[in-house]
């Protein structure tokens, strides 16, 4: 009687175990990286929010200072207070060029431009206090919305 | 017809209601060069005004006591709507 050669059997379990180990490590590493990336983004977003808030507070202070410079009974800028107004306007321009460009969105940028122009028109005696106050409120509302939508 | 005061460096703008157009005179090469622009109206974001020469202007009637009006009445100001922070606002004062 002729002997049949023994069947070749492959022990897949020996190959599967390391594969599963590698797969497990890869998934773990991916989850870790993904989590870190998410936390990093959240941290950046929190940091940006804080910077935005600080910048908008500076703008609010500059706008407030401009709006409390006295005006005359006809709501025009008082001739005797133009120096005070100019000094406050310098502070606003520092925010305009130095602080806001880092954090502002397009709506705040537009409101900043409009307030800057209105402050100039008010300084020249072409627009009255109501116009300046209205643009100031629009600017602060734009800042508020920008923070809400952050 | 409205005309701006003329001094060195300024341009002259003569507006006509019918047809709606403006004749812009600017000093170039030591001589006045005139060009005619069609005037249209615009309205956006709760604001409105006129547009000519590729720029949009907001229109405001100013009191005669405003320094720029030099006692003239009626007195009007056209101010461009700036496109971005570095875009300087151009202002044109008009008086009879």
Q: Does B60 touch chain A (CB under 8 A)?
A: yes
Pair B38, B51: CB distance under 8 Å: no
Please report the pLDDT score of residue B38 as a whole number.
Answer: 95
Strand-pair partners of B21:
B16, B38
CA dist list (Å): A62 to A66, A68, A72, A115, A133? 6, 10, 21, 11, 13
Domain spans in chain A, listed from the N-terminal domain onward: 44-148
Check CB contact under 8 Å for B65 and A125.
yes
Residues from chain A that touch B77, judged by Cβ atoms under 8 A, are 121, 126
Q: Do A125 and B66 touch (CB under 8 A)?
A: yes
Quote the CA–CA distance of A150 and B80 in Å, as a whole number: 31
Pairwise CB contact (< 8 Å): A96 & B84: no
B contact test, residue of A122, A126, A142 with most B CBs within 10 A: A126
Is B79's CB within 8 Å of A121's CB? yes
Instruction: Decide the pairing of beta strands B75-80 and B91-95.
Output: antiparallel
Residues A22-62: pLDDT tens digits? 999 999 999 988 888 889 899 999 999 999 999 999 999 99
All residues at 6 or more sequence positions from A118 whose CB lies less than 8 Å from its CB, including other chains: A127, A131, A132, A135
Q: Which of B62, B66, B85 sits opposite A109 (nearest CB)?
A: B85
The number of beta carbons lying within 10 Å of the beta carbon of residue B70 is 11
Q: Do A124 and B67 touch (CB under 8 A)?
A: yes
User: What element of type H or E holds B67?
Assistant: none
What is the reported pLDDT for A2? 60
The number of distinct structural domains making up chain B is 1
Q: Give percent above pLDDT 70 in chain B.
A: 86
pLDDT (tens place) for every residue of chain A, 150 residues total: 566 666 666 677 778 888 889 999 999 999 988 888 889 899 999 999 999 999 999 999 999 999 999 888 778 888 888 999 999 999 999 999 999 999 999 999 999 999 999 999 999 888 889 999 999 999 999 999 999 998
A98 near A91, Cβ under 8 Å?
Answer: no
Cα A80 to chain centroid, rounded: 38
Which residue segment(s) compose the domain that B55 sits in?
Answer: 2-95
On whether the A44-148 domain is CATH 3.50.50.100, my answer is no
What pLDDT, in 10s, does the model give residues B46-89? 889 999 999 999 999 988 877 667 788 888 999 998 888 888 88
**Of A74, A90, A57, B86, nearest in space to A82 by CA:** A90
């Amino acid at each position: 009687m002729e002997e049949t050669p023994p069947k070749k059997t492959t022990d897949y379990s020996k190959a599967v175990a390391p594969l599963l180990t590698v797969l497990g490590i890869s998934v773990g590493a991916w989850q870790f990286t993904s989590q870190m990336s998410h936390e990093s983004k959240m941290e950046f977003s929190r940091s940006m929010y804080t910077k935005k808030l600080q910048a908008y507070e500076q703008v609010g202070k500059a706008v407030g200072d401009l709006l409390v410079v006295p005006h005359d009974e006809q709501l025009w800028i008082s001739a005797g207070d133009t120096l005070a107004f100019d000094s406050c306007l310098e502070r606003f321009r520092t925010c305009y060029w130095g602080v806001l460009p880092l954090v502002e969105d397009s709506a705040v940028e537009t409101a900043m431009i409009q307030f800057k122009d209105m402050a100039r028109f008010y300084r020249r005696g072409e627009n009255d206090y109501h116009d300046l106050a209205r643009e100031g409120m629009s600017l602060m509302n734009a800042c508020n919305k920008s923070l809400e939508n952050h | 017809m409205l005309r701006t005061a003329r001094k060195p460096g300024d341009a002259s703008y003569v507006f006509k209601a019918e047809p709606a157009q403006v004749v812009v005179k600017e000093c170039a090469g030591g001589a006045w060069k005139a060009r005619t622009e069609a005037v249209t109206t615009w309205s956006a974001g709760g604001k409105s005004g006129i547009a000519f020469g590729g720029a949009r202007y907001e229109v405001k009637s100013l009191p005669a006591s405003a320094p720029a009006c030099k006692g003239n009445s009626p007195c009007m100001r056209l101010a461009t709507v700036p496109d971005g922070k570095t875009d300087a606002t151009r202002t044109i004062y008009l008086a009879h």
